[in-house]
Amino acid sequence: METTFYHHLTATSLSGELLSNATCEKLLTASEIGLLPLLDAAYQVRKTYFQNEVQLHILNNAQNGYCPEDCHYCAQASSATADIEAYPLKPDAEILAEAERAYESGAYRYCLVMSGRGPSPKRVAHLAKLIHTVKSRYPIEVCLSAGLVDVESAGVLKASGLDRLNHNLNTSESHYPKICSTHTYQDRMETLQAAQTVGLACCSGVIVGMGEGTDDLIKVAKALRELEVASLPVNFFLPISGTQLVETPTLTPDYCLRVLCLYRFLNPQAEIRIAAGREHHLRSMEVMALYPANSMFIDGYLNAEGSTASRTFQMIRDAGFAIKTNREDLERLKKAEEKRDDVLLKELKVLRPRMESNA
Ligand code: SF4
């Protein structure tokens, strides 16, 4: 592919124009489009708005399971038989202690997530109090994911100091009935509109790999662009045993990276997060995702384990990116960096396995 094609992608994105559906489709699927020049073209856009910084988030799964909804991808759904540890909303002290851990770990943002269709007014008042306490104790951004929310509840949360409300679109409107029957795409859209009505920044993204077509991914990216979301998590579906969607086609690292590039071109100023599934689907190419994306979770997801914090920090620094955090944490992280892994020497049973088995 000629270099003018890649320049066209960068220039169109930076000028605020929209890529055509045909071009979007091509960059996801055409083998003549090279992955490295594509990543570089997306990186030019990322660098313009976010330089080399990476924002780190820590997730707190504040309430696990007991959800009446039937999102087919979710281990907490009423229809799932996944072997998860269900529990009701954690006590305040536990949530506050985890906020402290997030701050101490150098996270830029603390994401409070709970299962369920949506919070009652009583639950909203409780959450508002908690968020206010976190914000008054720690200089950390707070994002809440609590299901469907109306304008009144969004207003209470905004007044508490909440920085962002998360509610993912997940997939396109036409694909939505295939992944959930208890609420609709429109319900999700209305929650995001409620947040916007009260001036709350929106975090909303996608789950790639739920049997959708490339046209669905393009539609979601364009819908999120129209919503002007501040934050856009790109999740890669984790096939957890016991969820209804476990038999979906396998994603390749190449395809995942192309999706991230597409989302960057279409949402140049959004904080694009490589979310769930980065370790599982990107595998040895994980670090390449930092070229289109500028954000990630430090160490794990709602029900699935992820990388360790030290490995995440190391990967970011090894690739020449900088962690966006406050000064105090930077000093602490620097100290952690000074620690080196010991080189382990091979034992005799590894050096001469045949000798052992013949003994
Ligand atoms: S995604 Fe949320 S609403 Fe859907 S089943 Fe899981 S916890 Fe419930």
pLDDT in tens, 276-303: 999 899 999 999 999 999 999 887 777 7
Distance between CA atoms of residues 297 and 316, nearest Å: 12
Tell me the pLDDT tens digit for each residue of 131-177.
Answer: 999 999 999 999 999 999 999 999 999 999 999 999 999 999 999 99
Going from the Cα of 68 to the center of ligand 1, the distance in angstroms, rounded, reads 8
Q: Is residue 355 part of a domain?
A: no
C-alpha distances (whole Å) from 188 to each of 66, 98, 117, 168, 173 are 20, 28, 11, 7, 10
323 bridge partner residues? 54
Residue 321 has pLDDT above 60, yes or no: yes
Q: Which atom of ligand 1 is nearest to the CA of 75?
A: 6
pLDDT value for 101: 87
Distance between CA atoms of residues 99 and 109, nearest Å: 9
- Tokens representing 54 are 């990476």
Task: Determine which helix (DSSP H) or strand (DSSP E) holds 333, and give its type and residue range.
Answer: helix 327-338
Going from the Cα of 74 to the center of ligand 1, the distance in angstroms, rounded, reads 6
**Alpha carbon nearest to ligand 1 atom 7, residue:** 115
More confident residue, 219 or 329: 219
Mean pLDDT on 240-269: 92
Q: Is residue 354 part of a domain?
A: no
Going from the Cα of 181 to the center of ligand 1, the distance in angstroms, rounded, reads 12
Mean pLDDT on 227-251: 90
Tell me, what DSSP letter sits at residue 162? -
Q: How many domains does the chain have?
A: 1
With the most atoms of ligand 1 within 8 angstroms of its CB, the residue from 63, 72, 76, 183 to mutate is 76
Q: Is residue 356 part of a domain?
A: no
pLDDT level of residue 326 (50, 70, 90 thresholds): low
Q: Is residue 327 part of a domain?
A: yes
Mean pLDDT on 70-89: 89
Q: Where are the alpha helices (DSSP H) in 15-139?
A: 21-29, 35-50, 92-104, 121-137
Q: Is 119 in the pocket of ligand 1 (CB under 6 A)?
A: no
Q: Which atom of ligand 1 is nearest to the CA of 67?
A: 8
Q: Is residue 225 part of a domain?
A: yes
Q: Which atom of ligand 1 is nearest to the CA of 80?
A: 5
The whole-angstrom distance between residue 116's C-alpha and the CA centroid of its chain comes to 19
Cα torsion angle, 324, 328, 331, 332, sign: negative
Q: Is 69 in the pocket of ligand 1 (CB under 6 A)?
A: yes
Going from the Cα of 117 to the center of ligand 1, the distance in angstroms, rounded, reads 7
How are the residues of the chain apportioned to helix, strand and coil, as percentages rounded to the nearest 5?
A: 45, 15, 40
Looking up residue 297, the CATH number of its domain turns out to be 3.20.20.70
C-alpha distances (whole Å) from 307 to each of 27, 138, 205, 322 are 29, 25, 21, 18
Q: What is the pTM of this model?
A: 0.91
- Most confident segment among 23-27, 310-314, 326-330: 23-27
Going from the Cα of 239 to the center of ligand 1, the distance in angstroms, rounded, reads 15
Domain containing 79 equals: 3-338
Q: Is residue 344 part of a domain?
A: no
Going from the Cα of 135 to the center of ligand 1, the distance in angstroms, rounded, reads 26
Q: Which atom of ligand 1 is nearest to the CA of 68?
A: 8
Q: Is residue 77 part of a domain?
A: yes
Going from the Cα of 160 to the center of ligand 1, the distance in angstroms, rounded, reads 24
**Alpha carbon nearest to ligand 1 atom 4, residue:** 71
Q: Is residue 348 part of a domain?
A: no
Going from the Cα of 179 to the center of ligand 1, the distance in angstroms, rounded, reads 11
Ramachandran region, residue 66 (left: φ > 0; alpha: ψ -120 to 50; beta: rest): left
More confident residue, 250 or 189: 189
